[in-house]
Structure 1
Amino acid sequence: MNEVDPRRLLKDIPQDPGVYRMLDATGGVLYVGKAKRLRRRVASYFGRSLNSRLQLMVSQIADIEVTVTRTEGEALLLESNLIKALQPRFNVLLRDDKSYPYIRLTTQDAFPRLAFYRGSRKTEGRLFGPYPSGWAVRETLRLLQKLFPVRQCEDSFFRNRSRPCLQYQIKRCDGPCVGLVSPEQYAQDVAHSIKFLSGRSDEVVDELVAAMERASAALEFERAAVLRDQIATLRQIQERQYVNGEGGDLDIIAAAQEAGMNCVQVFFIRGGRNLGNKGFFPQAPADTDEPTLLAAFLTQFYADKEIPPELILSREPEDVDLLQEALGERAGRRVRIRVRVRAERARWLEMARDNAQFALKSRLGSQAGYARRLNELRDALDLDEAPGRLECFDISHTGGERTVASCVVFDGEGPRKPDYRRFNIEGITTGDDYAAMHQALTRRYTRVKQGEYPIPDLLFIDGGRGQLGAAAEALRELGIGGPRLVGVSKGPDRRPGTEQLWLLGQEAPVILPGDSPAMHLIEQIRDEAHRFAITGHRQRRAKARTTSVLEEISGIGPKRRQRLLKQLGGLRGLARAGVEEIAGVEGIGRQLAQQIHEAFHRDVPES
């Protein structure tokens, strides 16, 4: 136990429900917990025998902060938000920073469009999902194009057609852009799409069968054959995607634990359709059992996501009644957590368990290989221990234009994408990579010095001795020591596997064998930094070119520029538009429209 007097820590803590935060001597948060009675719960850490993990935590406690809530349910919600924000080392932690994709139907349009969507749920149109991955969305959109010819093209493309596109030729669209389908027929296809995405495919089949019979009675055999093929395709999709006996929305969640690692598999069922599954690997203290793991997972996973009315779990989570109450409060309706299920649901739950076990074994195998690479890197660079945090910087530009620097981060488990950063480089001589590297490291490590990020064990620089020297100078100016600096340059013939490693103070480079696991890890980190840098550079360059032509035309300010791009479907739509179309935009006269048209056809920029 530490030397802090528990009575001093406990004296001002009330018996109300709320959340407590255990702090170390530096003010860092060790643990976040909730309690029905705060004082009693916190006192229990000092008055009973504890396992080794809790003993270690208690030995580091220097202070305790509490937040009082009205109910235990409110405390549970606040606890999950604080854990996601603070990432305390003694809590179960879920890394899940991605928003989930949806299919959006633009119901506000005369001819609605089906499209991939990721972002706020407060948007125009109607959303279907969420889907576990972008692939699942794209696959569903592909199937929908075979079933119902609802357009999926961009608005700018749709508004500027004078003849139907290839999608019409291959019978994936009815050509609403050029008036080849009536609004009534198109509305019927949209209605069928909505029913399909809402899990009401049986209704669609019944309607198509009735339409096929009417077409046959009217001797419209070609139309009847098209409807027959639609019905057959829909039946095939039902066999592949639909869960027998299910008609509502639910998530099936199963956990697996082995060798100190955890996996949670989530199957998304919406409208009776299996939208796919996704695996998660929460970090948790070694003695965390499955009920505790699932309880922590649910509160963090559903903190900012849609909660279905029913959750089927592999084990009953800790405080299940409280969880149901808190999740129901967040969802605005009742949420049921079920563990004991039968028949088809039991088979689906067993499949979720099998997937969790398989994903965990694959991860353990991958982690073992990654750990071996880290150990090989330790030996290759003569380090005292395997590096726990690695950073790599790269510079990207085209002829010095719109220079962007990237910083990617790897830790003991692999890429740590929330810590990635890009830097737009300004105020240097065009094409001066040394100055760009110096500026990027100065900006990054000023924040490191302020305590925003930890100091890495290894710092890779994409480049040779010159870039390495610029990086070392930046760290010296900031007074930062600690990270081992390594420059990674291409070999004489610039082939992969012939890279040279430059270390400060050494005249000759270190050259590792091409099949070295350490070299493979360095190449992976360097390639990730390159990918991240060039993506940022291309985005910055495209953004600059999007507005550069308009900015050069006198009389077009930010508001007119925005109105032009919005009403004509972006830069491509504007480049294709005629003088009359441009003049039709509010605030743009014919003379100005002529200038815009001439500017774009004199020099059409890339997009």
Structure 2
Amino acid sequence: MYQFFDENDRIIYVGKAKNLKRRVASYFNREPDNGKTRVLVKKIQDIKHIVVNSEEDALLLENNLIKKYQPRYNVLLKDDKTFPWIVIRNEPFPRVYQTRQYIKDGSLYFGPYTSVVMVRALIDLFRHLYPIRTCRLQLTQENISKGKFKRCLEFHIGNCKAPCEALQTEAEYQVYIDEIKSILKGNIQSVIRYLKDYMMDLARDYKYEEAEEIKQRIKLLSGFQSKSTIVNPKIDNVDVFSILNDDKSAFINFLKVLNGAIIQAHTVELKKRLNESEKELLSLAIVDIRERFQSNATEIIVPFLPEVALNGVDFTIPQIGDKKKLLELSERNVKYYRLEKLKQAANQLKTPKHIQLLETLQKDLRLNKLPVHIECFDNSNIQGAYPVAACVVFKNGRPARKDYRHFNIKTVEGANDFASMEEVVFRRYRRLKEEGSSLPQLVIIDGGKGQLGSA
């Protein structure tokens, strides 16, 4: 995940990529074709990134951040539509269905899922494996005993056992619900084995189309992700801190979880002044970062207890479970941040490749100065008519496309390369001198001694 910030430290764009370096560099290595992208690039003042465990988590985190901060240049996902959940209703003979609304009513929610196809496949699979009801009837014992309901078509085609007429007890129905819960928690191997056996039986009976349908279900289930670290409705209003220490600095990562979703990630480097302990450094960072981001979380997840007590705030050191996964995600981000800092420091110590090339050019051509500004000229015409010329500019070893120039030859008639070159070079550097612009350290002429002498 990457975020672009403007000069006011506001998020103006959120994106995701498998190869972060390639994706972010693509904004700067070439002139954007889209006008909106050009404006975006001009406004970028800072770039931050967040490391997550999977593509699904990246998509969910992107969704959270866009809905929270409404970045100006993100078009998709700005609406109030969210990713789907699978809910097991808190009611007698619970229904199992897809929803996009998370309501705290005691129901069990699984997800969210980034694939609607996956959700629908799971719902269809449950209805194929288990005779669970799909109606909205209030199946209380009182209503059933009074005979308020009649069995429907779903009973007659074998999709339901008619609990509405007391033909099935709640205990019998709950067995199906418990198995569905087990699948949604990730325990799907037994179901996959059953489906594989069923697929082979269909193939032996030459029912290839039905076998192919079961094969597709197995494929979907094999890629099923039961939980996301990025969105977990069981964890609400929590701060997560992790720390990584070395001889000179301490790196602290902060994750903000609100309403079960990560909405903030921030990593800082603290330069050591004295021989501060990890507990002292973590305590300092917790107080500073919570104040900076105005956090009112009543629980802070940490790798160890810091040397600070906050009123109304509990510190948690998780050993297992979802909170442990959040802490591990924070630790992964702080390790990545430190690694990037070390790479930056190493790159600053060695001469960049493009500067090495310029130094080689200076040596080979015996130039007095490093040619950080190079200009190249070439002429052309169409069968002796319509003479034109072009100037290509390099600065610091890289193309400076905004400085490229095209010339229509004004004073030369016919195919006279020498005179054309003289005109173009004269016009170019007269203009630069009038504007007070810097002159190049190296000018390259395409041609022979005649063109060079004219220039």
Do both proteins adopt the same fold according to a TM-score greater than 0.5, normalized to the shorter chain?
Answer: no
What range is the shorter-chain TM-score in?
0.3 to 0.5
Higher Cα radius of gyration: 2
Question: Please, what TM-score do these two structures have when normalized by structure 1?
Answer: 0.28
State the TM-score, normalizing by the size of structure 2.
0.35
